[in-house]
Structure 1
Amino acid sequence: MNAAPDLFSRVGLSIAAGQPLRGQLLKWVGNKQRFAKELISHFPAEFNAYFEPFVGSGAVLATLAPREGYAGDVFAPLVEIWSTLKRDPGQVIAWYAERRALMDQLGKVEAYQRVRDSYNRAANGADLLFLSRACYGGVVRFRKSDGHMSTPCGAHVPIPVERFRQRALEWSARIASTEFVHCDYRELMGRARSGDVVYCDPPYVDSQAILYGAQAFRLHELFDAIAECKQRGVFVALSIDGTKKSGRNVVDIAPPEGLFAKELQVHCGRSMLRRFQMDGRTLETEHVSDRLLLTH
């Protein structure tokens, strides 16, 4: 479905909303940047505050550019990146520049391994920022045995510092009116009130169990939190597993009856996570789509 003509003149959006983003700030598996405008087109025409309790790559948040936003995640280093970008984008640019420079000194793979070792000694946003841009396909994976990030270095060359600087400044402007919170999704959703919008993009049950935060996630608990929001008059949109393998394999997740008023399909192309799991083999038959569930 095409976005409504007045999509980005809606109540609740800043003047930056709808302007094309230069590119991803973080490389992140499941990133919704290519589909963010379509997702937003299904939000209510008018709303108050915007909540995103699984902020991840921040793509929907930055595309929306709300006048009043609240975004959170259980992953503390990720929240550190977003909080610092809002407060001091120059610091985030310096983080990236310092680690990107290691590539000239050590070579890409050794520089990546050094930063990953640093992160595994003490998890932090500065290292995670570079790792997300340099790791394979943005797949931030942790070993169950020790919790260490184990994703190998990607084949691509991380973007130059100047390009990253331009993106960081642009994204910082778009999130200027958003408060970032390190918390469980239920805590952030509990703050939403009647007339607010909540967009949920949680770990996908069928494919993302290896990713950060996914091991402890329980979908039925999210459905409970959505039901509580709905009772308070909060509008909720949920992206969830849809189809895999060119639409032939439907992920059969049945939400509680009556919880959602509408369901849509959003085509997402090929899965980078599936490519990672297949050791880089071709994904010609591995197309996927998301289900977008709406309480309104």
Structure 2
Amino acid sequence: MNKTPVHVLELFAGTGGFFSIPCQKLGLSDRYVIDSVEIRDYRRAILHQHFSNHTREYTDVREFKPTRHYHIIAGGPPCSDNSRANGKGQGLNGEQSGLALDMLRIVREGRPEVVLFENPEGSRHPKGGDRISPMGIFVGCLSRLGYDVQWENLILSEDFGAPHRRERFFIIGILRKEFVTDPYSGEPKRLFDPPFWHDEVAIDIDRINTGWQVKKEGSYPRSRSPHDGIAARLDEASADFGWWAGNRFSGTSIAPQRSIKTRYEEMSMLGDGCCWVQGAAVLCYVNRYFNPPRKPVFKYTGGKTRVLKEIVKRLPACYDHYFEPFVGGGAVFFHLRPRRAFLVDANEELINTYKVIQKYPLMLIQLLEEHQSLHSPEYYYKIRSIDKQEGYLESIGMIKRAARSIYLLQACFNGLPRYNSKGQFNTPVGKPPKGSKTKILDRGKILEASEVLANVALVSGDFSEIEQSVTKNSIVYFDPPYCKEIDPETGKRKGFQDYTSNSFDTNSHLRLRKLCDRLSDRNIRFLLSNSDCPETREIYKGYDIETIMVGRTINSDKGRRGKVPEVLIRNYK
């Protein structure tokens, strides 16, 4: 059920700093198939060597005519005529920066859904006798071609810890389209309903920076010329742990000679390759159009839907694999949609349900339609009691078991699954709001979830199952059953931990702390959610602990519904 890849045309590709490198760094290479246009031979050689998702390579943007449909056309035309450093620059009337008009021609001929444009800060000011700035001309032309246009005024490389300033602004054009039929729900909707760029970019920039421990103190002096120390500065920066160290282009070049002209080209190439972080902020935003976040298939105890924004903005954007050892309802996983993920849960029925959604969504939908039509309190208790018959659950097969699990989760009281010591589901039936019916089946969610789960490893077991599989450039999100607070009046612990028949107690949290320590020793990043109580702070003392306020509507204790404090614990900055 995987969608076909998004086709991209990267104009003025350089060494891929605007789109190709961000795509690779963010783990999105299999989602985007890229054709590139780059006139310099050695830059095309770098693209060919390092990017497997490049299918076609072209040389001259002035002669290029699109022969296939592209979903995205991206480009940063040469900036020499727009730069503030060139006081005599002619803007779009100049030979180099005027190539932006060829980009507009290609957009007009190709009609992509999205147009991405990048240029320096100087493009915001009129040049060459024009009354309108190059940026204004480009925005106006895109609007005339039928695009809704947004832009970010300025993003600086130094905001990401780079040793130079590199001021850039970005334009995003979204093709205006009529309503289309959603392939999952069958309902009409806009093909692209973009979030406002300014509301999203700050979070994306924080996520790209997060987890790389970028060196912030001090700054690297700016070079006076293209030949004065840039390579040394890049090599110096490469020695630091951070995004710069992971950049395969810094400090190296395949240009054949060391002439002044070639050295200038080398430095220009390094600029293209090392500033991928700016393009990554744009790609994060655009990726939400073509691969929008998904919602969990069902309600589940401890779900993170209400606090997703707080969690996601603290997770790094760049990682190879995503691990979640207490997946539960999977709100964070479905929102992120990582391509390489490893999900674990101690609840065997839950993991079985995800495996069925992954492999047999249509058969599952058929059974849920039957549960929906037969639902009543009497029918609910009949289905709930099935697990009291020894061996019966195993005998009915994994698909019927999954349908039963979803039915009980959707129809139970307050969406609160609970299991007794024998592992039997024992939550009573819930009552829908007056005038409404209990909704058991959401066909669209199941089909979407099947797509997201397509290449995911699913394991039923202890949280420690991840340890042998996790690798250095991974992110681990822990959402264990929370530590319980002690009620000062009764001396009893408040809260709820019986998601499975095996309670998660203090000893379990101590085991989890030891796993966190072992991950830290291996330089593996983790983020952990828990309740804000003295026990939590004592167990996880020594890590970064941040308090957030979370809205809760599902809790066995009415006093703990509403806004409650929780903590996010991590081993990275």
Instruction: Name the TM-score class by shorter chain.
Output: 0.7 to 0.9
For 1:245, the equivalent position in structure 2 comes to none
User: Are 2:501 and 1:224 equivalent residues in the alignment?
Assistant: no
Q: Do residues 95 (structure 1) and 367 (structure 2) align? A: yes
Q: What is the match of residue 47 of structure 1?
A: 319
CA distance in 1 between partners of 2:285 and 2:346 (Å): 26
TM-score (normalizing by structure 1): 0.82
Structure 1 residue aligned with 2:548: 266
Partner secondary structure for residue 85 of structure 1 = helix
Aligned residue pairs total 273
Change (3 A) 1:14 1:95: farther
**Structure-2 separation of matches of 1:83 and 1:285:** 32
* Aligned partner of residue 238 in structure 1, secondary structure: strand
Aligned-partner residue type, residue 238 of structure 1: L
Aligned equivalent of 1:56: 328
State the partner residue of 2:568. Answer: 292
User: Where does the alignment leave 5 or more consecutive residues of structure 2 unmatched?
Assistant: 1-199, 209-279, 394-400, 485-494
SS of structure 2 residue aligned to 1:273: coil
- Whether the 8 Å contact between 2:417 and 2:427 is mirrored in structure 1 is yes
Is residue 377 of structure 2 the alignment partner of residue 109 of structure 1? yes
- Please say if 1:65 is aligned against 2:302: no
In the alignment, structure 1 segments of 5+ residues that lack a partner are 243-249
Decide which moves more: 223-232 or 92-101: 92-101
Counting aligned pairs with the same residue, the percent is 24
Question: 1:133 deviation in Å?
Answer: 0.6
Which 10-residue stretch deviates more, 118-127 or 220-229? 118-127
User: How far does residue 236 in structure 1 lie from its aligned partner after superposition?
Assistant: 0.5
Superposed displacement of residue 119, structure 1 = 3.6
In structure 2, relative to structure 1, the CA distance for the partners of 1:12 and 1:147 (3 Å cut) is same
**Which range moved further: 187-196 or 57-66?**
187-196
| 1:196 pairs with one of 474, 486, 493 | 474
Shift of 1:272: 1.4
CA distance in 1, matches of 2:522, 2:331: 27
Residues 198-254 of structure 1 show CA distances to partners (whole Å, capped at 9, x for unaligned) of 001011121223331551551000111111111112111000112xxxxxxx45421
Task: Determine if the alignment matches structure 1 residue 27 to structure 2 residue 27.
Answer: no
After superposition, where does 1:8-19 map in structure 2 within 5 Å? 15=287, 19=292
State the 1:194 CA deviation: 0.5
Write the distance in 2 (CA, Å) between the matches of 1:269 and 1:83: 30
Distance in 1 (alpha carbons) for counterparts of 2:539 and 2:516 = 11
Distance 1:14 1:96, change over 3 A: farther
Contact persistence 1:25–1:168 (CA under 8 A)? yes
Instruction: Pick the aligned partner of 2:523 from 223, 233, 241.
Output: 233
Aligned-pair RMSD on alpha carbons? 2.9
The 3 A distance-change label for structure 1 pair 72 and 89 is same
**Aligned mate of 1:210, from 475, 481, 498:** 498
Q: Does 1:129 align with 2:406?
A: yes
Change (3 A) 1:160 1:222: closer
* Cross-structure match for 2:430: 154
8 A contact 2:344–2:465 mirrored in 1: no
Going from structure 1 to structure 2, the CA distance change for 1:222 and 1:272 (only over 3 Å counts) comes to same
Cα distance between partner residues in 1 of 2:340 and 2:285:
8
Provide the rounded CA distance (Å) in 1 between the counterparts of 2:513 and 2:524: 14
Cα distance between partner residues in 2 of 1:229 and 1:89: 35
Task: Tell which structure's C-alpha radius of gyration is larger.
Answer: 2
Task: State the 1:30 CA deviation.
Answer: 0.9
Q: Which has the higher contact order (CA 8 A, sep 6+)?
A: 1
Superposed CA deviations along residues 103-158 of structure 1, whole A, max 9, x for unmatched, are 2xxxx2112111101244345332111100110122111223x4322111111233
- Report if the CA contact (8 A) 1:238-1:294 is conserved: yes
